[in-house]
Amino acid sequence: MSTMETRQRLPAAERRESILAAASVVFGDRGYAGATTDQIATAAGISQAYVVRTFGSKETLFVEVARRAVGRIETAFRSAISADDDRTVVQRLGQAYLDLIADRGILLSLLHIFSLGNDPAIGPVGREGFLTIYRLIRDEAGLPPEEASRFLAEGMLINTVLALQLHDSDDPDALELVTQACGGDLGRFRALAAG
């Protein structure tokens, strides 16, 4: 008897989604060049060849993951902007950004995309995504350029401490820094990152 459960036959759209989800995690952990289509396939529970077949190439898949990640941020921010409770817009946006930590891979994939501005295929996608987010918080949330810039800076710090896994460190300085980066609630940061 086989220890492997039978592979499921899925409609194309669902299979695409499951591959994108797996790819987001693997790309987030290892970066574009460091990730292999075989690791993504294993994470998605299918064969390596099928991953490539579904998206045409590793590069196309990465770009799709990148666009999805930016789209998730846009959605989360628009929802935060229209929430209109007793907090300020910036507070709501910050909260929304932190919540994205729970979906492992989104912020880390973006970090890797933004670091490859030199790549002829990936660079333009990264620039477009970054500017899209900047315009959203400036024009739709109404933050002046200076505040919008500061907000993005705080986001980049969150991405960095998340990638470095400083929240899992037992160094008191690391925890102090993570606490500052996430606006005070270390426990929440850790819980979201552990998810």
Partner DNA sequence: GTCTATAGTTCGATAGAC
Partner DNA sequence: GTCTATCGAACTATAGAC
Give me the residues that bind a copy of itself (CB under 8 A), please.
Answer: 29-34, 108, 111-112, 114-119, 123, 126-127, 130-131, 134-135, 138, 145-146, 148-150, 152-154, 156-157, 159-160, 163-166, 169, 171, 173-174, 176-177, 180-181
Q: Return the one option of DNA, a copy of itself, none that residue 68 interacts with (CB less than 5 to 8 A, by type).
A: none
Min. distance of Cβ 83 from DNA in angstroms? 38
Min. distance of Cβ 155 from DNA in angstroms? 28
CA gap 100, 50 in Å, rounded: 29
Q: Return the one option of a copy of itself, DNA, none that residue 49 interacts with (CB less than 5 to 8 A, by type).
A: DNA
Q: Return the one option of a copy of itself, DNA, none that residue 9 interacts with (CB less than 5 to 8 A, by type).
A: DNA
Report the phi/psi class of residue 84: left, alpha or beta, with left for phi > 0 and alpha for psi in -120 to 50.
left
Residues forming contacts to DNA in the complex (CB under 7 A) are 7-12, 15, 35-38, 45-50, 52-53, 56-59
Cβ nearer to a copy of itself, comparing 32 with 77: 32
Count of Cβ atoms closer than 10 Å to residue 134 Cβ = 16
CA gap 79, 93 in Å, rounded: 9
CA gap 90, 52 in Å, rounded: 41
9 neighbors 53 (Cβ within 8 angstroms):
no
Q: Return the one option of DNA, a copy of itself, none that residue 114 interacts with (CB less than 5 to 8 A, by type).
A: a copy of itself
Min. distance of Cβ 130 from DNA in angstroms? 25
92 neighbors 155 (Cβ within 8 angstroms):
no
Min. distance of Cβ 44 from a copy of itself in angstroms? 19
CA gap 16, 10 in Å, rounded: 9
Cβ nearer to a copy of itself, comparing 50 with 161: 161
Triad 110, 111, 116: Cα angle to 5°: 95
Residue 122, token pair as written in the block = 């990936």
51 neighbors 44 (Cβ within 8 angstroms):
yes
Q: Return the one option of a copy of itself, DNA, none that residue 167 interacts with (CB less than 5 to 8 A, by type).
A: none
